[in-house]
Structure 1
């Protein structure tokens, strides 16, 4: 793990699994590896940020990179997560809306910054289960992963923004083996690196101002029209 500086922005890159960290990303970054799932993501990132804060070296920005599942989006394409929801949270039996954590001042869906021109936006759902086949029917998001909500909550604890970039590795067919996830990861790695280069350019030109989430009157920014996706 190392912090990268782009212009005046100190950045910590975070990934979940070594299988997602291919040659293209290895040539650019040395990320914090958290392990898979929301618990590992929250624990490892929080511990790392606490150590950095104690050393007086807290980053300005966290960038989460990795794969995701999607039944509808282009295979191997990369998207900026425009929002994230926590699909495991369901306290509706106590009168709370599904997705809302009881006694926590956070909505069921949190908007995320999408600063990169030319990289499309898509909504994201985080949970501890691998989504496949009919499991998608119950999820109101375009992408699914297992870490982003947890990483965002850890980042918020330290007052830090987070950008999430996800490449679609699976979802068009039912998952039956580990290879159904890993077989596309070399394409995802290449396309994540392209998106990362664009993000670096934006940060060097605009700094943290590029991360502002604009307010669009009468329209949820998570559902704005998106430009063409990055594909192999």
Structure 2
């Protein structure tokens, strides 16, 4: 693997040990934006990587279950300071980083998506415009943007972000890990 590249995932449950069995070093952030931001910063500082690759699961009522989607736009679905006159998703007084963070596409063959990140397991319609949801990607994108590191993020659609999402997510993680490993081995 290229020393300029580091791989980050939220949980060992999302890799099912397959990456480690293949000899691939994975950094696990834990769940949520704070854990993701801290681990991304730590990984970038320790490895001096130029590209951070984020693989993981996401929910979507837009994309087909079991598909892989490259995230090219990242938004916060739970930043809501609207009572003070700010649009949902906008961090007040943070002019340095836009509310919508855009990443350069890497894969020609994958559909592109806008990921709404929040510290909740989404089972309904987010307050911001997005077509897939997770709990870490925006934080990773913001850290990468601040540190000048490229982020490549691919999500396996594990569930429909609906009332059975918690059951579907767990049930589909092995298939997701297999698909994400195959993609990683073919391209990195």
- Partner residue in 2 for 1:140: 129
SS in structure 2 at match of 1:36: coil
Instruction: Pick the aligned partner of 1:31 from 26, 29, 32.
Output: 26
Partner residue of 1:16 out of 5, 10, 35: 10
Is it true that 1:69 corresponds to 2:59 in the alignment?
yes
Give the Cα separation in 1 of the matches to 2:101 and 2:161. 26
Note the aligned Cα RMSD (angstroms).
1.9
1:164 is paired with a residue of what secondary structure? strand
Change (3 A) 1:94 1:137: closer
Aligned match of 1:127:
118
Of 111, 118, 131, which aligns to 2:109?
Answer: 118
Task: Give the aligned partner of residue 41 of structure 2.
Answer: 46
The normalised TM-score by structure 1 is 0.73
Which structure has the greater CA radius of gyration? Answer: 1
**Which runs of 5 or more structure 2 residues have no equivalent in the other structure?**
none
Greater than 4 Å deviation, 4+ residue runs: none
Q: CA deviation at 1:72?
A: 2.3
- Tell me the residue number matched to 2:143: 154
Q: Are the counterparts in 2 of residues 78 and 195 from structure 1 also a CA contact under 8 Å?
A: no
Unaligned runs of 5+ in 1: 201-232
Give the 3 Å change call, closer, same or farther, for CA 120–25 of structure 1 in structure 2. farther
- Cα separation, 2, equivalents of 1:120 and 1:28: 28
Q: Is the 8 A contact 1:91 1:98 kept in 2?
A: yes
Q: Structure 1 residues 137 and 153, CA, compared in 2 at 3 Å: closer, same or farther? A: closer
